[in-house]
């Protein structure tokens, strides 16, 4: 099973009536849990929120259109690495993949932010609880017969989170470059700002905050040290990242929403459904 568990129908030697909290010797209570609060609300909201993003991002990633409205580029399509990319007037449309790539160029680059979020320590908690009920909530018995967690393939691959963090840095750097370019107008003249500029600025700020609040970042910056006193600069940086890290869940959600909203804004402008209001 993908989450290191086997379904209750796969194990014949441990019926639900005799395993887990019903194991012989534990207090004989027939209920699988006795919680009286609405414990199912958080996993349900998580599943709906992540599900909505997956549906939206899948549609947009495969759409291969309406992702550039000069000077704005959708974060789903930047950097754009195939020859079938729209010309972006000085933007990050680097045709590294040549013309053989015939499908949406978003699929090339999205693997990195997708991997970063998929292996993120917060999102792991969210989808283990929301989608796989492992566990659905604290002290609510999970429905699976066996559990090996992240000790085996494929879930042992969660340990590569830091590599996706390494890749997340240049990707966020390129999105920052896109924001800088959004201070030019459609003809490439500097001194422009529209509502799209503001949307992209907020989005990149949240993406950087989410990236730097990452647990792997916290470890690499200073967490792995044994003696902070010998590394005062890294200790100070570790403290800053730690303060961000306390809000990792919040930043995970708001940056997820902001990246979808930034893409949707570009889609509206590129498709002609909305005219970008210009501030100056």
Establish if 17 lies at the interface with another protein (CB under 8 A). no
Establish if 37 lies at the interface with another protein (CB under 8 A). yes
Supply the minimum distance, in Å, between the C-beta of residue 14 and another protein: 8
Supply the minimum distance, in Å, between the C-beta of residue 173 and another protein: 19
**How far is residue 35 CA from its own chain's centroid?**
31
Q: Quick check: 75 and 259 in contact, CB under 8 A?
A: yes
d(CA 258, CA 271): 20
Establish if 4 lies at the interface with another protein (CB under 8 A). yes
Q: Quick check: 101 and 82 in contact, CB under 8 A?
A: yes
Using DSSP's 3-state secondary structure scheme, residue 6 falls into strand
Q: 190-193, long-range: CB within 8 Å, 24+ apart, which pairs? A: 191/280, 192/71, 192/278, 192/280, 193/278, 193/279, 193/280
Applying CB under 8 A, which of residues 60, 129, 184, 192 lies at the interface with another protein? 129
Supply the minimum distance, in Å, between the C-beta of residue 115 and another protein: 15
Establish if 117 lies at the interface with another protein (CB under 8 A). no
Q: Quick check: 256 and 222 in contact, CB under 8 A?
A: no
Establish if 144 lies at the interface with another protein (CB under 8 A). yes
Closest alpha carbon to 4 in 101, 149, 143, 114: 149
Establish if 20 lies at the interface with another protein (CB under 8 A). yes
How buried is 93 (Cβ within 10 angstroms: 0-12 exposed, 13-18 middle, 19+ buried)? buried
Establish if 150 lies at the interface with another protein (CB under 8 A). yes
Q: Quick check: 185 and 146 in contact, CB under 8 A?
A: no
Q: Which stretch binds another protein (CB under 8 A): 45-53, 92-100, 152-160, 197-205?
A: 152-160
Using DSSP's 3-state secondary structure scheme, residue 278 falls into strand
Q: Which stretch binds another protein (CB under 8 A): 76-84, 128-136, 186-194, 255-263?
A: 128-136
Applying CB under 8 A, which of residues 53, 56, 183, 235 lies at the interface with another protein? 235
Q: Which stretch binds another protein (CB under 8 A): 49-57, 65-73, 189-197, 214-222?
A: 214-222
Q: Which stretch binds another protein (CB under 8 A): 63-71, 90-98, 105-113, 123-131?
A: 123-131
Residues forming the site for another protein (CB under 8 A): 3-4, 19-21, 23, 25-29, 33-37, 121, 124-125, 128-129, 134-135, 138-142, 144, 146-151, 155-156, 159-162, 215-216, 218-219, 223-224, 226-229, 235, 245-246
């Amino acid at each position: 099973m993908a989450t290191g568990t086997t379904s209750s129908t796969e194990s014949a030697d441990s019926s639900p009536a005799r395993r887990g909290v019903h194991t012989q010797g534990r207090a004989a209570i027939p209920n699988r849990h006795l919680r009286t609060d609405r414990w199912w609300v958080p996993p349900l909201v998580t599943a709906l929120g992540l599900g909505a993003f997956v549906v939206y991002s899948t549609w947009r990633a495969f759409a291969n259109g309406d992702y550039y409205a000069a000077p704005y580029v959708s974060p789903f399509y930047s950097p754009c690495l195939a020859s079938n990319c729209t010309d972006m007037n000085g933007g990050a449309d680097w045709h590294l993949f040549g013309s053989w790539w015939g499908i949406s160029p978003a699929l090339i680059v999205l693997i990195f932010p997708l991997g970063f979020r998929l292996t993120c320590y917060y999102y792991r908690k969210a989808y283990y609880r929301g989608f796989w009920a492992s566990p659905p909530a604290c002290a609510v018995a999970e429905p699976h017969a066996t559990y090996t967690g992240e000790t085996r393939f494929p879930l042992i691959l969660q340990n590569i989170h830091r590599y996706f963090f390494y890749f997340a840095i240049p990707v966020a750097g390129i999105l920052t470059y896109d924001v800088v370019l959004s201070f030019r107008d459609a003809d490439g003249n500097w001194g422009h700002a529209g509502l799209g500029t503001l949307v992209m600025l907020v989005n990149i700020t949240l993406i950087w905050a989410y990236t730097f609040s990452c647990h792997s970042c916290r470890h690499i910056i200073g967490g792995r040290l044994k003696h902070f006193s010998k590394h005062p600069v890294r200790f100070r940086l570790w403290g800053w990242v730690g303060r961000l890290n306390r809000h990792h869940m919040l930043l995970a959600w708001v940056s997820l929403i902001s990246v979808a909203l930034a893409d949707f804004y570009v889609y509206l402008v590129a498709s002609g459904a909305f005219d970008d209001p210009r501030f100056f």
